[in-house]
Amino acid sequence: MNIQPIKAFSDNYIWVIEEGTKAIVVDPGEAEGVLAYLEKHHLDLKAILLTHHHEDHVGGVKEIVTQYPNTPVYGPQETASLANHIIQEGDAFELLGKSFQVFKTAGHTEGHVSLLMEEALFCGDALFSAGCGRVFTGDYQAQYDALQKFKQLKDEVKVFAAHEYTQTNLRFAHSVQPSNETITEALDQVNALRKKGVPTLPSTIGREKKINPFLTAETLEDFITLRKARDQF
C-alpha cells in the first residue's frame, strides 16, 4: 500500500491510496492534477473518499467521475449531492482489501468525518499537524470531542491531513509554549523541510500529542481559548 500526495491550490493535499494498479482518491478539490496523476502512473480509480463538503475538498469530483464513470464515492450526508455511498459514525467498509472505519469529527463542518485505514488516518480539516480546523459551525464542543477521539488512536497511526499548515501552526504553538523544546525542534525541522518544498505530512498521533496544543488542551474552555487565539494569530 502506497499513499502519495497531489498538491492542489495553494496548500491542499489530495491523497492517493495505491495498491498495485488500483487507486483511491481522498478529498479531490480539483480534477486536473488527479486525472494527470492517474494517467501518468497507469492507475485504475476504484473509489473517491470525502471528509466534508467544502469546495476545496469536493470540487473535482464531478469531472473525475465523468472520466471514470460508476466510481463509488463515499462521503457524509453533507456531500450527498456527490456521494453515492453515505457514511456515518461507526460505519466500516472495505476497499482494495483494506478496512475503513468512519468517525464523526464535526466542528469544522456539521457532518465532517474522518476515515481510519489500518494505521492511516484521513482527517480532512478536523486535525492538522500542530493544529486543527477552524470551527465554522460554532460548535466547539463537537470539535473538542473529535480531538478526544484522535487522542484515543494508537501513537503509530499516521495523520494524513488535507492542508500544509504545519509551519504556521507550529509558530503559533511556539508562541503559546515558548519553553517547549519539542515544539521548538519540530519548528526547526519543518522550516528546513519547507525551504526544500518537502511536505511535512504525514505526521503521527504520537508526534501530535507532543507538538499539537489543541490535542493537549485538558478542558473545553482551554480548547476554545486556544482556537480563538489561533484564529487571530
Q: Which residues contact 192 (CB under 8 A, 6 or more apart)?
A: none
Q: Is 108 annotated as a binding residue?
A: yes
Task: Output DSSP code: residue 208.
Answer: H
Tally of CA atoms within 13 A in the half-sphere of 23 that contains its CB: 24
pLDDT digits (tens, 9 = 90+) for 131-166: 999 999 999 999 999 999 999 999 999 999 999 999
Predicted TM-score (pTM) of the model is: 0.97
pLDDT of residue 131: 98
Q: Is 112 annotated as a binding residue?
A: no
* Residue 193 grid cell: 523541510
- Left if phi > 0, otherwise alpha if psi is -120 to 50, otherwise beta: which for 15? beta
Q: Is 54 annotated as a binding residue?
A: yes
Q: Is 125 annotated as a binding residue?
A: yes
Domains, the chain = 2-232 (3.60.15.10)
pLDDT of residue 21: 97
Q: Is 163 annotated as a binding residue?
A: yes
